[in-house]
Structure formats: structure tokens, C-alpha cells
Amino acid sequence: MDTYISHSAAQTEALGELWARSASTGWVIGLCGDLGSGKTRLVKGLARGLGIPERVHSPSFTLVNVYTGGSMTLFHLDLYRLERPEQILAAGLEEYLDPPGVTVVEWAERWFGSAPRSQRSLAALPRSNPAQPGLMRWVEIETLSEHTRRFVYEDIGP
């Protein structure tokens, strides 16, 4: 488990850029945090790090934004308007758990629950090739002050 303290929006974006340098196809990033905690800001940095030229914005009303044109496709999901895993599955979003690029899921706890990280398992996620599970990064964001955020994250999988 790792921790990163961001003191500004620019530092949050820089963290996303840093993560993009080691991104690989099939990577899923689950983001948990309150409104305004920096989830979309982190995704903006990730997109920039992937070389995506499009403006990144939260897909709160569309559920999914797809960004291309970079080193790999970025799938950006926002589950704010969905409250239960059943609603998420009914929306057909499980295909994004095995992406031909990178998937970021805002409000991931609405899909995967809030069990302790050590109890999470990629084996429970539907994948087109279960023999080769991907990597999931579980990220919890805590607002410490107006500009300061704590990112606690853990990689699950290979």
C-alpha cells in the first residue's frame, strides 16, 4: 500500500501522469472519494500522461467517456448516478473491466463495495481471459484541507 499527499490540483494531475508511464493494457483503476476530492483531476493527469489530446471531463451524465489518440485508449466511468452493483451491471459496464486500454472507475465502491482492500479479488471480476487477470489499482482519496489530498492506493493482481 502506498500513500501520496497532493497539495494542489497540479500535483494531483502530476500523480496521474506518473501512473500513465507504467500503464498497460487491461489496467483498471478504482477511485473512491467524496465529491471534489480530485478523482477527475487525477484522470486528467492520467490522460495527459497517455498523450491523449482531448479535454477530459467527468462522465456523470453519460456514465462513460472514451478517449483515444494517445498511447492507449482511456475509458473513464463515473458511477455517481448509480447506487447499486445491480444498476451498474444492468447498464452493461462490466465490459470495461477487461479494457483494450486503461479503465478508470470513479465511485468504484458503488460497484465493488467497501470491504477492506485485503479482501478484494480480481478473480471475481469478469474478464475475457480469466487465465490472465489484469491489474487493479484501488485508490482511496481523502480531503485533508481545501487544497490537500491524501491518496492511499494498492495494486491488486499480477
Domain 2-117+131-150, CATH: 3.40.50.300
CB atoms within 10 A of CB 77: 25
> What are 95-151's pLDDT values in tens digits?
999 899 999 999 999 888 865 454 444 445 554 444 445 689 999 999 999 999 999
pLDDT value for 135: 82
Give the closest residue to 96 by CA, choosing from 139, 69, 121, 63: 63
Q: How far is CA 11 from CA 22, 85, 139, 152, in A?
A: 18, 32, 16, 15
Strand 101-106 relative to strand 73-78, pairing: parallel
> What are 7-23's pLDDT values in tens digits?
999 999 999 999 999 99
pLDDT value for 115: 54
**Exposed e or buried b per residue across 83-111, where buried means at least 16 C-beta atoms within 10 angstroms of its C-beta:** eeeeebeeeebeebbbbebbbbbbbbbbb
**Amino acid identity of 36?**
G
For the chain, the residue count is 158
Q: Where along the chain do its domains lie?
A: 2-117+131-150
Residues 6+ apart with CB under 8 A from 60: 78, 80, 81
> What are 28-71's pLDDT values in tens digits?
999 999 999 999 999 999 999 999 999 998 887 789 999 999 99
pLDDT value for 125: 53
pLDDT value for 131: 41
Residues 6+ apart with CB under 8 A from 156: 117, 120, 121, 122, 135, 136, 137, 138
| More confident call, 84 vs 74 | 74
pLDDT value for 133: 53
